[in-house]
């Protein structure tokens, strides 16, 4: 009797372990699948200009809003501007919507969206810094690496 109970106990334990392993495996597979589908690679202006960024998938690209490049449509919310680095690489961004408060010429910005055939980033999200002392780390790194290269 006691032995029989042990056996059911063991069988239940085994069943539980199998369920756990299958569940964990399924979850892990689902998670990895979701991760690989939903990452947005980040590109610098130089990389976008050099054609290193893919055109078919969603990316993020960032740099400084080029001074004097912001153009608005007269009758809609469409706005276009150039994003560049400290050197000469620049790419155009097209956005239809309301820009964040801290979006300004000459300030750091990250645009999320996809590149079209002509190299224009059709953005569905624009991130500007939320604080005067803060720059997106990605953009800060581009600027810092270029400042090292250019002799003062």
Partner 1 sequence: MIIELGHFALILALAMSCCLAVLPGFGVYLGRPALMRTGGSLAAGMFVFTLVSFVCLAQGFIGDDFSVAYVARNSNSALPVYYKISAVWGAHEGSFLLWCLVMSSWTLAVAMFSQQLTDDMRARVLTVLGSVSIGFYLFLIFTSNPFDRTLPFFPSEGADLNPLLQDFGLIVHPPLLYIGYVGLSVPFAFAIASLSSGQLDAAWARWSRPWTNVAWAFLTLGITLGSWWAYYELGWGGWWFWDAVENASFMPWLIATALVHSLAATEKRGVFRSWTVLLAIFAFSFSLLGAFLVRSGVLTSVHAFAVDPERGVFILWYLIIVIGGSLLLYGIRAGQMSVNVGFGWLSRESFILANNLILTVSAITVLLGTIYPLIYEWFSSGQKISVGPPYFNMVFVPLMLPLIALMALSSFSRWRRTATEVLFGKQPIRLLISGLVCLIFCLLTSTWNLWFQVVSLISIWLIVNLLADARYRQGGRGFAGFLKQTPSYYGMWLGHIGIAVSALGIVTTVVMSEELDLLMSPGDKTQIAGYDLRFEGVERVNGPNYSADRGIIAVSRQGRLIEMLYPEKRLYSASQSVMTEADISVSFWRDVYVALGEPIGNQAWSVRVHVKPLVRWIWLGGILIAIGGFTTILDKRYRRLKMARQLQSRAETSVQASLA
Q: Could you list the residues that contact partner 1 (CB under 8 A)?
A: 9, 12, 20, 23-24, 27, 30-31, 34-35, 37-42, 58, 60, 72, 74-77, 96-99, 101-102, 110, 129-134, 136-138, 141
Q: How far is it, in rounded angstroms, from Cα 111 to Cα 90?
A: 13
Shortest distance (Å) from residue 40 CB to partner 1: 5
What size, in residues, is the chain?
152
Residue 34 CB, nearest distance to partner 1 (Å)? 4
Q: Cα 132 from chain centroid?
A: 22
- The rounded radius of gyration (Å) of the Cα atoms in the chain is 25
**Which CB atom, from 42 or from 91, has the smaller least distance to partner 1?**
42
Looking at beta carbons only, is 36 or 150 nearer to partner 1?
36
Kindly state the smallest distance separating residue 137's Cβ from partner 1, in Å.
6
Alpha-carbon distance of 58 to 20, in angstroms, equals: 35
Look at residue 56 and give its three-state secondary structure. Answer: coil
């Amino acid at each position: 009797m006691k032995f029989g109970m042990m056996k059911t106990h063991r069988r239940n334990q085994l069943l539980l372990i199998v369920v756990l392993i299958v569940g964990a495996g399924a979850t892990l597979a689902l998670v990895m699948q979701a991760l690989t589908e939903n990452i947005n690679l980040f590109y610098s202006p130089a990389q976008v200009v050099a054609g290193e960024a893919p055109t078919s998938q969603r990316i993020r690209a960032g740099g400084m809003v080029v001074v004097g490049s912001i153009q608005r449509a007269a009758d809609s919310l469409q706005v276009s501007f150039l994003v560049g680095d400290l050197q000469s690489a620049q790419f155009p961004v097209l956005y239809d919507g309301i820009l964040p408060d801290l979006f300004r010429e000459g300030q750091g910005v990250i645009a999320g969206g996809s590149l079209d055939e002509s190299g224009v980033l059709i953005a569905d999200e624009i991130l500007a810094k939320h604080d005067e002392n803060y720059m997106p780390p990605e953009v800060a790194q581009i600027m810092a690496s270029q400042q090292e290269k250019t002799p003062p």
